[in-house]
Amino acid sequence: MKPFWLDRSDAPQPLPPLEGSVSTDLLIVGGGFTGLWGAIQSRQANPERDVVLIEKDAVATGASGRPGGVVSTSVMHGLANGVRIFPRDIAELERLGKENMRGMMATIEAFRIDCHAEWGGELTVAVEASHVDALREEHDMHVQYGHNSVLLDEAGVQSEIASPRYKGGIWSKDVSGTVHPALLAWGLKRVALELGVRIFEKTAMLSLDDKGTVIEARTPGGTITAPQVLLATNAFVAGHSRIRRRVVAVRDRVLATEPLTDAQMASVGWRHRQGVYDTRTQMNYMRLTRDNRIIFGGRLAYAFGGDPFPKVDEQAETYQSLAAAFFETFPQLEGIRFTNAWSGPIDLTTRMAVHFQRYHGGKAVYAGGYSGFGVSASRFGARIALDILDGSKTPESRLEFATTMPTVVPPEPFRWLGAQITMYALDTADKRGGWRRPWLKAISAMGFPLN
Ligand SMILES: Cc1cc2nc3c(=O)[nH]c(=O)nc-3n(C[C@H](O)[C@H](O)[C@H](O)COP(=O)(O)OP(=O)(O)OC[C@H]3O[C@@H](n4cnc5c(N)ncnc54)[C@H](O)[C@@H]3O)c2cc1C
């Protein structure tokens, strides 16, 4: 089932794979947002540095061509999560997040990337009355850290988007909103090529060996040697067997409707076209497309071994509960059809935010762990990873988020078992009680924030 974003006749053809052996100053593995932003920022900072990017499939076929495409100023999975994990540095992280968004917007404008960007802000909605107090506390945080945000009561949120589920909301009006993620990724690919990056698609890194002063990456068609390697492989985690100890590859599911008619749009409202997510761990997020479809996502799942594309996600029944949540949210759209249903890999960590793993004496750095919140944070993650490869010269790459790591998560089969019980408990916690709350508390104690 093709993601709506990738289902386009103007999708660029993949570039030819690597044939033969090359050497370069910086090898980037992975053609998603992290890899592309890494390539662009590296060339912009140092035009002398030769950069090669390899992608095992085609640019944007991983998470970057599949998300909701809600863009946030936060580089720590939201302000509340940032306060939870790095209370001492949060003011600086907020500043860096806003700076990151401005940099992202500047590149989009300077290189004329038509990625359907809409800067209507982000709307966090409470779908349970018990979450309204937490929303108020979060709004206080927004005010404390200088966000231009408004707290909405039930009537206020309903006047933005008409859904009987919404009990309150925070509308953050700072530079944030939505983009067409595949158009952004393909645009970034064009920019990287214009800046002189050599890109090889259909080129999987098979192994990475430390050869002393350089690293050697083996691919089916040849080898690449480089003194620095950025592993931008997200939930696919490649390059070192230990990365997976801290990164759990879960999946999230998404639906796209057919375009809404004018009457359907009028019944929903949504005139400011914000990106929306709710306050639960098994949350739903949604946004409009340029042609007024609703993209509606959010059904975390885990397959044994962290398979990023399991067969079950190709079956229509898999999306039934997500469709049910859609019609609970928008009962007035009864009868609307879904044109696309898809899933994508999420690099979940206990911190829920980007972290960096150093391997091969610091010559290779993995940057990932955005936990489903990386459309803009990936630009920041890539910049910090480049900084770390260069010896952590900037003050931000010496902050705690860049120098420490999230907790280790147990391996299989415990990982699979724990994930199944947790997903089930999250789906049913509010309906049944019993063992579910204590279980979720125990998982929270490992570091995962669960509501
Ligand atoms: C369903 C879904 C909804 C989401 N919604 C949002 C949202 O609304 N807002 C938000 O901010 N974030 C969202 N995200 C998260 C966001 O999409 C990701 O954080 C971001 O795209 C990560 O980019 P990346 O480059 O790190 O990873 P990816 O885009 O996954 O790129 C990694 C690439 O590495 C390649 N690769 C892997 N192994 C190898 C190898 N051995 N050799 C060569 N290449 C390799 C893969 O093919 C892949 O293309 C969502 C994610 C999903 C899946």
The per-residue pLDDT for range 73-127, each reduced to its tens digit, is 999 999 999 999 999 999 999 999 999 999 999 999 999 999 999 999 999 999 9
Query: Which residue has its alpha carbon closest to ligand 1 atom 14?
Result: 372
Say whether 47 sits in a helix, a strand or coil.
coil
Q: How far is CA 116 from CA 108, 161, 183, 187, 192, in A?
A: 10, 21, 8, 11, 20
Low-confidence ranges of the chain (pLDDT < 70): 281, 414, 416-443, 446-448, 450-451
Crossing angle for the helix pair 414-432 and 436-446, nearest 10 degrees? 130
Q: What is the rounded CA–CA span in Å between residue 85 and residue 38?
A: 25
**What does the pLDDT read at residue 272?**
97
Query: Which residue has its alpha carbon closest to ligand 1 atom 2?
Result: 67
Give the global pTM: 0.94
**What does the pLDDT read at residue 66?**
97
**What does the pLDDT read at residue 279?**
85
Are the C-beta atoms of residues 243 and 366 closer than 8 Å to each other?
yes
Q: What is the rounded CA–CA span in Å between residue 159 and residue 330?
A: 14
CA of 407 to the centre of ligand 1 (A): 21
Output the CA angle 347-146-160, nearest 5 degrees: 75
Chain segment 190-211, per-residue pLDDT in tens: 999 999 999 999 999 999 999 9
Please give the number of the atom of ligand 1 that sits closest to the Cα of 34.
25
Beta-bridge mates of residue 348: 248
Of 189, 182, 144, 245, the closest CA to residue 35 belongs to: 189
Mutate to test the pocket of ligand 1, among 244, 250, 375 (most ligand atoms within 8 A of CB): 375
**What does the pLDDT read at residue 311?**
86
Are the C-beta atoms of residues 395 and 405 closer than 8 Å to each other?
no
**Any idea what DSSP says for residue 146?**
T
Q: What is the 3-state secondary structure (H, E, C) of 282-296?
A: CCCEEEECCCCCEEE
Of 18, 126, 128, 85, the closest CA to residue 402 belongs to: 85
Q: What is the rounded CA–CA span in Å between residue 425 and residue 417?
A: 12
CA of 5 to the centre of ligand 1 (A): 14
Ligand 1 binding site (Cβ under 6 Å of any ligand atom): 29-35, 54-57, 61-64, 66-70, 72, 204-205, 232-234, 236, 238, 252, 254, 285, 297, 344-346, 368, 370, 372-375, 378
Please give the number of the atom of ligand 1 that sits closest to the Cα of 251.
53
Q: What is the rounded CA–CA span in Å between residue 60 and residue 32?
A: 5
**What does the pLDDT read at residue 429?**
57
Length of the chain: 451
Are the C-beta atoms of residues 174 and 73 closer than 8 Å to each other?
yes
CA of 157 to the centre of ligand 1 (A): 31
Dihedral sign for Cα atoms in the order 161, 79, 252, 202: positive
Segment (H or E) for 343: strand 338-348
